[in-house]
Amino acid sequence: MPGDILLTVDKLNKSYGQLAVLKNVSFSLRRGERIALIGPSGSGKSTCLRAINFLDPPTSGEIRIDGRLIGQQPNGRRMTDAQLAPQRADIGMVFQHFHLWPHLNVRANVALQPRKVRGLPAAAATELAEELLAKVHLGHKAGEMPSRLSGGQQQRVAIARALAQRPKLLLFDEPTSALDPELVGEVLNVIKELASEGRSMVLVTHEIAFAREVADRILFMDGGRIVEEGPARRILDRPQEPRLRQFLSSLSTRGASS
């Protein structure tokens, strides 16, 4: 039903000069649904994610949250960053790298978002930060500086920070790609817990087993296009497109040789 649709991406294109990175990408996301974007490096996955909240504005196409056009004024002109800010508040994003403020402790890093984005009073923002740090199993680290945390812990703080702005939609851009292998599991487990709460998510990931477990649907991208999409297990167990079969086979071969 139309009222169940939270995110609509319609005919999204992104070019850098003559290089077309996204080519007519379209999909929608229902409330509470999780979509994983998979594909080879350079396929446009991260660019698509960054275009959704206009960190990397699309060349053409439309993005809507709750039916509301993102990034464009009614006259078709692109919004300024100040005009975009209230819309971006509905979209929490977790990046490959953590981007924590090095001069603020963990609690302050998380509390800053609801104060700046949602206008929460300092005391309420601090209370919320402590609640969310407990959710990502880092309540005992609230007073630490980011430099004293492991990479996995820093990424979990980044997840708490994204949650602190109370977004309708969470975007994850390969959240474990910058982590040492032994730290990957702690971040994936937190994301699984959030997924179990029915949060709406779009995830770019190279962790195929994780995508199978968490995602409702998978979109396979290659060459800036969505080549195949469908329910996660069907896509991974019974791929239809030769390019997807080749991609999954290359991952299996790589895993067997490592």
Reported as a single tens digit per residue, the pLDDT across 24-37 is: 999 999 999 999 99
Reported as a single tens digit per residue, the pLDDT across 2-56 is: 569 999 999 999 999 999 999 999 999 999 999 999 999 999 999 999 999 899 9
Q: pTM for the full model?
A: 0.92
Q: Going by DSSP bridges, is the β-strand pair 60-65/34-38 parallel, antiparallel, or unpaired?
A: unpaired
Type of residue found at 69: L
Smallest Cα–Cα separation from 62: which of 15, 24, 18, 89? 24
Q: For residue 65, give the DSSP letter.
A: E
> Residue 228's beta-bridge partner residues?
220
- Tokens 């490959």, residue? 96
Residues 111 and 247: their CA atoms lie apart, in Å, by: 41
